[in-house]
Amino acid sequence: MIGFHNTNGLVKNSDWDIQLSKTGFIREAGKCLVMMATISSKPVVIVLLDSLGRYTRISDAMQVKRWLETGDGGPVATVKVPRLTPVKATIAKAKGRFQGSLKPRHT
């Protein structure tokens, strides 16, 4: 007799009815999860591409499940957008700062 141990947190979770689950990575699509499950008595296929981290796929799948069960997508993550500096202003500032140092030195 051979025992198998599954490390996928979703497959081990008794709240899920998963028939098929595959995680993976390819350069073009990033970290991925493909899953066939029954949610709210309906068969669904979930495909998640380009997850940010190792556990993001699991978290995203849990949010999709909650949305399908309740209609509530849950909290929306806020992303802090860096303040952008106009390119012309940056170039002008750099020219003014480095103008003297760009002249050739006389030896």
Question: Which strand ranges, in their side-by-side order, compose the sheet holding 42-51?
Answer: 17-26, 30-39, 42-51
% of the chain surpassing 90 pLDDT: 36
**Token pair of 103 as six digits:** 């002249």
Mean pLDDT throughout 10-33?
Answer: 91
Interior CA angle at 81 toward 78 and 83, to 5°? 150
- Spell 63-78 as b/e; 16+ CB within 10 A means b: ebbeeeeeeeeeeeee
The pTM score is 0.61
Predicted local distance difference test score (pLDDT) of residue 73: 66
Return the closest-CA partner of residue 47 out of 38, 36, 62, 55: 36
